[in-house]
Structure 1
Amino acid sequence: MRNLLPPVLAVLAFGLSPAAASDRDVAFFKSVRGEWVGPGEIVAGKYKGTKFTCTLTGDTHDSKIGMKLDGNCRVGVFSQRMSATIERRGKGYRGTFLDGAAGKGLDIVGGTVSSTRVVMSLNRDKLKGAMLARMRGKDAMNVTVSVRVDKELVPVIGMNLKRVDAAPVGALSRK
């Protein structure tokens, strides 16, 4: 019994083992698989008040811990392709939003995963920020993108997505 005390204390002090953390991460990313649709709004900055609607498909990587989101967001008749890729590399996460900071997007430079949410660090030149995606049950996800202004994170984009692949579409009801 004495020999078990140090490992038990270590687990209590530092949280889950790497294997348990990986299982939790995989479970979260699998929960994002599917078709998502919902409204969003720019809540700060030059385009504050602009409302948009996104249609996204979530999937997991074949051989890596992570996920891919792909689709588009539209404002009126204008549509913009959206994509994000996140994958575990070593003890952290890396990825891109759109084509990454080398193009017109952002780099994902780190992050954490819990059973119901991910928080990813975003970077583009001097712009630093975070993206929080939180599952609200199995069929709803809220996404907030914030940027660092001085020492504070300021939300700039918010989205409320609903899963649409689980519901029958175009089904006729019998009476």
Structure 2
Amino acid sequence: MITLRAATPDDAAAIVAIYAPYVVTNAVSFESSPPKSEEMRDRITEAGDLYPWIVGVDDESGLVLGYAFAKPFRAGSAYRFAVETACYVSGELESQSLRRNLYQSLLATLTQQNFTQAISTLTMPNDKLIQLHETIGFRRAGVYREITFKNGQWIDVGLWQRSLTEPNTPPDEPVLFSAVGVVRG
């Protein structure tokens, strides 16, 4: 069985082990080299109490098998209601439901936090991830053509957007992740 819980800085090395193959072997990640554990620890810490990082942990082995997180969509206080999301799982689990479970938990958590929009950036073509995102409620919002260069080629990046809550006027301010905790999707 797999338990979903809030990530801690102590999970950084396990998260890097999951993420590094995405950086090295394909264009899914926009980074050119994998971060070190210390850098990943800083990313988790910098998310602070507001932006969730959620890990899926195997109950028997205690191993982190995947993670999902949110970060600010753009700089500027007017964007504070929108987040960018991502989810990565251990390579051997690609065909299983862990990614969906992590993502659904992340989206449910963000909804409870009063965020209104989730944005995901996907390298294209990427039928498998597009299908996953559309299955969990994301819709294509646009495409940046030939905007990234990796592995010797120019790559298109698609934007997928999901409404989390109906925007109120005035909007409800986001609630701290530490106050909401991990919400099951």
Do the two structures share a fold, i.e. TM-score over 0.5? no
TM-score by length of 1: 0.27
TM-score normalised by length of structure 2: 0.26
Question: Which structure: larger Rg?
Answer: 1
Q: Which has the higher strand share?
A: 1
Question: Going by fraction, where is helix more abundant, 1 or 2?
Answer: 2
